[in-house]
Structure 1
Amino acid sequence: MSLRGNLASLGRRFSLYLIVLHALLFGLAVLLLRERPLFFLGAEALILASLVLGIGLSRRALEPLGYTARFRDLLQEQNYAARLLPGSGSELQELAALFNSLLSSLHQERLKLGEQQGFLDRLLEATPSAVIVLDFDGKISLMNACAQSLLALDAAPGKPLRAWLTGEARCLGEAGSAAQARSLALLAALDALPAGESRLFSDPDGRRYRGQRGQFFDRGFARHFLLIDELTEELENSERATYEKLVRVLGHEVNNTVAATGSVLDSLLYYRSQLTERDGEDFGTAINAVKRRNARLGEFIERFTRIVKMPAPELRPASLQAIAEDILWLYREPCRSRGIALGWEVCEEIAALPLDSQLLEQALLNIVKNAMEAVEESMRDSGQASGYVRLALRREGGGARLSIADSGGRLGLVPPGQLFAPFFSTKKEGQGIGLLFVREVLTRHGFPYRLAVAPDGATRFDIWLPAAA
């Protein structure tokens, strides 16, 4: 029964009690009717007045409880903007003023909390960090737009992170796709993250992230939240600045040393005629060997210096198909002689794009050359007689995607974070320049890219191109 019902029942019981009590007194007063009629009339008048006064006082006594009941109803309805009307007495007016003051304070606190919640909601949606808030049971209760875009989880609220790892829930997108593999890799790293710790981890595409698990208290109990920040661009810029400084210092010192050493070696050759014929020949051979090594050292550092001093792209409309066709014609005969099939898998017509054709051609040459060498090495190791390098140009969304796939399959043992790292190479005599140059060219053009293992096991380099203006 509600509080209002209890108060009404209490009022009825109290009124019934007064009526029964005064009825008994009235019955006793009737005994005086014959002996003292005037006294009887006076007693009956007093009893009637007492009944009326008792009922009135009981109503006044119960009226504050009625205010309390109305105040309780307003609290249950969370209707803090309503106000209680003051009663006729000073006590009721004071009580109503007290309740109204409490309602006003609650209303102001509610407005303040609403404004703060609105600000936090807008802040979560605007922040570039992915934010996931968990409930008391470790299930997702809130994800901002960045987290949903990064992880692409289907119907995430109410599910723990491990639901996707055990197959109880699925990620959005095609099964086995790169986006799904990235989501599962990030979820596994986040689920294993201890409370209060921050760690760096990578996805299968080599993009790097910082994950942090923190906690806050809600109604006295701890709840966890996760923050994920992508650091790929920040770390690449830091790496670029570091190796630019390193290469500039090395280039300055090496070039000075190479120039001085070359001059000294040329001067030493004048003394060859002063030696015997046999000694002079050995002397000249040794000096020329040192000169060649000296020149190769200069060329080595010059290749790194060209990356550091790479000019800004001069963007002009150019046909990507024509650039790729030139590269195919250039490498067609070397590939044929090695048993490597080189050509288009599919080539859809796309409009001319604003790009620096010379820089992009050099980047594509590096990619195709790396693919050829990977296929050749794979054929040599496995004893196979053939392999392939295939180019595909497809429209995708509002732009296009250029893919260069090869059957080499040499990326399986390479950590994703090292693919584009400066000075890192999987080749025995590699210098880590090719992919570094490719990354710089694509980054300066603003073309997203990915080097990863395709579902069929091939190595595939994808470049996403914007729509033609």
Structure 2
Amino acid sequence: MKLRTKYILFVVILHLLTLLLTYFIFNENKIFFIISEAAIIISAMIAWQLYQQLIQPLKTLMQGVDAIKDKDFNVKFLPTGKHEVDELINVYNQMMDELRTERTRQEQQHFFLEKLIYTSPTGIVILDFDDKIKQINPKALQLLPVAEQQLIGISVHELDHPLFQQIGQLKSGETTVVKLDGASSFKLQKSHFVDRGFSRHFIMIEDLTAEILAAEKKVYGKVIRMMAHEVNNTIGPVNSIMQSAMKTDQLWQSHEFDTLKDALQVAMDRNQNLNLFMRNFADLVKLPPANKQPIVLQKVIGSVAKLMSIKAQEKEVTFEFNLPQADLNIMADEQQLEQALINIVKNAIEAHDVSGKVTFILVPSTKKLVITDTGKGISAEQSANMFSPFFSTKKDGQGIGLTLVREILLNHGFEFSLKTTRERQTEFTIYF
């Protein structure tokens, strides 16, 4: 029962009882009865005025409560001239001013933070209390890359993307560097903030690929230049001495020196091989900028396949082509791109112990080339280092083939990846 209903009921009952009592007490004396009735009427009128004076502040208060419920902090009341009501109105108006100021300040902070997160050069993923993705900024979507609707509301532990698998293992305050497909490197950092008394986590994703590649190239470039300098300084004089000795007929007149002569020739050949070995490394450091010209991609693929066909036949590896009939034109340095494809196909062939298949798939709509082999595949540990300089899974490998491929493709601005998708299926994908 509402307060005003109780008040009205109390006043009505009180005056009815008073009216009934006066009837029995002053029934015989009409003058006193009339006076008492007039007093009751006056009392009822005063009670009604008091009701209006008491209920008005309550109505005002309820209107203010409704405004607060609706989050409308612009509602204010004018003074009524009644001291008690005006005190209440004054307190309410001050409270609304404070709430409006606070809301404006919070909205400005929220807008600033939203804008900061949206334009941040670092990928940011904000989680809710259950580690489900609540918000993700454009940079994170670009780095992943995954559609936003596929992530919002999904727990990081349920996503099979390699980065989210690493994020799921991170604890708050931890940082790790993840290398994907042997080429792209990402720094992941997990932290938290307190929201309404509970911890909420967020993840920062930073692309370190360019920085790491630049630092890597600077280091191995310095090493290669130093090695080439020392080897050339040694091989040149030694070869010169041996060539002079080989041309001096007086030294080889007796047949007993034939073995020594053959040994010198072998040594010279080995020196030439060492010189070629160092030249290959030097080519990696001295790779010129790409001279991009319009080329037909099918033509380049065909040339590489013809060149590598003899090596493929030696291992009983067959080539299969899934290429569009219409020419696919791209802008690239034909010589550099051909060298990159030769190295890729060579590795695909050598991945087979004996017999197998290498497939060339060209998708015109996305300008994507996929070179698939049915070899032994790449382990997760190998995948992280396949493009690293001097890393090789072959006994006699130099570890520069895929590094040269990486430099050529990055030189062109082409995205690429190398991974084993399932057993006996490894894919090298290039986006032109």
Q: TM-score, normalised on structure 2?
A: 0.84
Match of 2:403 among 429, 433, 436: 436
The answer for the alignment partner of 1:239 in structure 2 is 216
Equivalent residue number for residue 408 of structure 1:
375
Residues 138, 160 of structure 1: 8 Å contact kept: yes
1:93 to 1:251, Cα distance in 2 relative to 1, 3 A: farther
Of 409, 418, 428, 1:451 maps to 418
SS of the aligned residue for 1:418 comes to coil
1:188-241 deviations in Å (ceiling 9; x for gaps) = 322222222122234467643332322111111212223333433432233223
Distance 1:20 1:146, change over 3 A: farther
Partner of 1:209: helix, strand, or coil? strand
| Match of residue 94, structure 1, among 74, 87, 99 | 87
Letter in 2 for 1:91: E
Per-residue deviation, 1:435: 0.8
Once the two structures are overlaid, the 10-residue window that deviates more, 58-67 or 185-194, is: 58-67
SS of the equivalent of 1:336 reads helix
Q: Measure, in 1, the Cα distance between the counterparts of 2:281 and 2:39.
A: 116
Q: Indicate if the aligned counterparts of 1:328 and 1:343 stay in contact, CA closer than 8 A.
A: no
The letter of the residue matching 2:224 is: V
Partner of 1:69: 62
Contact 1:208 1:417 (C-alpha < 8 Å) held by counterparts: no
Q: Does 1:8 align with 2:4?
A: yes
Match of 1:170 in 2: none
Residue 14 of structure 1 contacts residue 58 of structure 1 at CA under 8 Å; is this kept in 2?
no
More displaced stretch, 295-304 vs 307-316: 295-304
Q: Does the Cα contact within 8 Å between 2:317 and 2:358 map onto a contact in 1?
A: yes
* In structure 2, distance between residues paired with 1:155 and 1:450: 22
Matches within 5 A, 1:2-401: 6-13=2-9, 15-16=11-12, 19=15, 23=19, 30=26, 33=29, 49-147=42-140, 150-152=145-147, 156-164=151-159, 183-203=160-180, 207-263=184-240, 273=250, 277=254, 281=258, 283-375=260-352, 378-379=353-354, 386-397=355-366, 400-401=367-368
Relative to structure 1, is the Cα distance of residues 15 and 290 closer, same or farther in structure 2, using a 3 angstrom cutoff?
A: farther
Moved more, 429-438 or 253-262: 253-262
Work out the CA distance in 2 between the residues paired with 1:15 and 1:241.
Answer: 96
The sequence identity of aligned pairs, in percent, is 30
Shift in Å at residue 63 of structure 1? 3.3
* Whole-angstrom CA distance in 2 between matches of 1:155 and 1:454: 21
1:167 maps to what in 2? none
Please give the alpha-carbon distance, in whole angstroms, between the structure 1 residues aligned to 2:381 and 2:91.
72
Indicate the larger mover: 422-431 or 206-215. Answer: 206-215
Change (3 A) 1:82 1:187: same
The corresponding residue for 1:422 is 389
CA separation of 1:8 and 1:251: change in aligned 2, threshold 3 A:
farther
Judge conservation of contact 2:181–2:418 (CA < 8 Å) in 1: no
Deviates more, 1:455-464 or 1:418-427: 455-464
Q: Deviations over 1:23-42 (max 9, x none)?
A: 478669848957xx5x8877
Q: Hey, what's the Cα distance between the residues in 2 that align with 1:71 and 1:344?
A: 76
Q: How many residues align?
A: 430
SS in 1 for 2:165: helix
Are the aligned partners of 1:210 and 1:231 in contact in 2 as well (CA < 8 Å)?
yes
The offset of 1:445, in angstroms, is 0.9
Residue 456 of structure 1: how far off its partner (Å) = 6.6
| Structure 1 residues without counterparts, runs of 5 or longer | 165-182, 380-385
Question: How far does residue 68 in structure 1 lie from its aligned partner after superposition?
Answer: 2.4
- Residues 387-410 of structure 1: CA deviation (Å, up to 9, x unaligned): 33332333133xx22222223234
2:317 partner amino acid:
I
Deviation at 1:453, TM superposition (A): 2.3
Q: CA deviation at 1:359?
A: 1.0
Gap change, CA 1:201 and 1:280, over 3 Å in 2: same
> Does the CA contact (< 8 Å) of 2:186 and 2:206 recur in 1?
yes
Paired residues of 2:123 and 2:205 also in contact (CA < 8 A)? yes
Scaled by the length of structure 1, what TM-score is found?
0.78
Q: 1:158 to 1:458 in 2, by over 3 A?
A: closer
Offset at residue 436 of structure 1 (A): 0.9
Partner of 1:117: helix, strand, or coil? helix
The residue number in structure 2 matching 1:180 is none
Partner of 1:171: none
Superposed displacement of residue 422, structure 1: 0.9
